[in-house]
């Protein structure tokens, strides 16, 4: 019985050590709370909007007007139908809407806004 427990503990340690943790790309923003939220794990394009209105896409700061062109370039490399927008809780609503318009113009209809809960 003891050798079997040893093997189980060694396997447990192996799985803990080799686990890959998913980290959202980009910069850290304070996300707003949500009363109803769903978890979507298949998105690979994240757009971050900081408190002062700066837009980050693909780990680079971009202007709102160039979001569409950058998204079209990214979509040729990695096609997806989802884009996640991580807007800071204090970001201006107008900037978020402009970014959403650029995402729609790039041909992506499914936009998700990241939240804490």
Span of 37-46, 82-91, 94-103 with lowest mean pLDDT: 37-46
| Closest CA relative to residue 48, chosen from 83, 97, 85, 93 | 85
Cβ count near 91 (within 10 Å): 23
pLDDT on residue 110: 84
Residue 99 in any domain: the answer is yes
Summarised one tens digit per residue, pLDDT across range 49-81 is 988 889 998 888 999 999 999 999 988 888 887
- Identify which of 20-24, 70-74, 113-117 has the greatest average pLDDT: 70-74
CB burial readout 13-50, b (16+ within 10 A) else e? eeeeeeeeeeeeebeebebeeeeeeeeeeeeebbbbbb
The predicted model scores a pTM of 0.63
Residue 57 in any domain: the answer is yes
Q: Which residue has the tokens 């402009």?
A: 98
The domain of 87 spans 25-113
User: Which ranges of 20-92 does DSSP label H, i.e. alpha helix?
Assistant: 67-77
Residue 8 in any domain: the answer is no
pLDDT at 35 over 60: no
Q: How confident is the model at residue 43 (pLDDT cuts 50, 70, 90)?
A: low
pLDDT average, residue stretch 1-19: 85
Residue 95 in any domain: the answer is yes
Residue 84 in any domain: the answer is yes
What does DSSP assign to residue 66?
A: G
Residue 35 in any domain: the answer is yes
Residue 43 in any domain: the answer is yes
Q: What is the mean pLDDT of the chain?
A: 80
Domain of residue 38, CATH code: 3.30.420.270
What's the structural domain count of the chain? 1
């Amino acid at each position: 019985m003891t050798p079997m427990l040893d093997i189980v503990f060694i396997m447990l340690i192996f799985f803990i050590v080799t686990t890959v943790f998913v980290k959202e790309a980009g910069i850290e923003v304070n996300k707003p709370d949500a009363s109803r939220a769903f978890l979507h794990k298949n998105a690979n394009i994240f757009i971050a909007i900081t408190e002062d209105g700066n837009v980050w896409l693909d780990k680079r700061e971009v202007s709102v007007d160039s979001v569409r062109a950058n998204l079209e370039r990214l979509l040729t490399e990695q096609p997806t139908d989802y884009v996640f927008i991580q807007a800071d809780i204090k970001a201006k609503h107008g900037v978020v809407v402009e970014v959403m318009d650029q995402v729609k113009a790039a041909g992506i209809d499914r936009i998700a806004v990241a939240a804490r809960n």
